[in-house]
Structure 1
Amino acid sequence: MSQYAVSGRFQSRDGFSEFNTVVEAPNENVARERVYTNIGSQHGLKRNRIEIGEVAEEVSAA
């Protein structure tokens, strides 16, 4: 599986908070779904409160 760097922001009580995370997924769409799941469960948010800005596949130096 590939690793994807995902960045974006989510709506919190104090406005918007930004996030950067790395997830392991077989493709970009699954990476997006995992971010929605992880951020939503950690912060008690629904998907419409989470904005994903960029999804980029990380290249490993092997």
Structure 2
Amino acid sequence: MNFIVKGIFRAGEKWERFTKNVTSMSKTNASDRVYSLIGSEHGLKRNLIKIESIEEVKE
């Protein structure tokens, strides 16, 4: 299944918005995948990443 995950992450002193498309078996796995991707790209821990919504893409 494909999911669109939207949220914000801490970039210096301000918060930046993000939207990620991920392939996963469930919403929980999709959120874990986004934490991993954003964390590795920006060197952030999970407490500096806030997921606001996870939507399954209907094809």
Give 1:49's aligned residue.
48
Distance 1:6 1:28 in 2: 9
Give 1:28's aligned residue.
27
5+ residue gaps, structure 1, are none
Normalized against structure 2, the TM-score is what? 0.97
Moved over 3 A (4+): none
5+ residue gaps, structure 2, are none
Structure 1: which amino acid aligns with 2:46?
R
Aligned-pair identity (%): 36
| Structure of larger gyration radius | 1
Distance 1:46 1:14 in 2: 15
Pairs aligned (count) = 59
- RMSD of equivalent CA atoms: 0.6
**1:8 is the counterpart of 2:7:** yes
Distance 1:52 1:10 in 2: 9
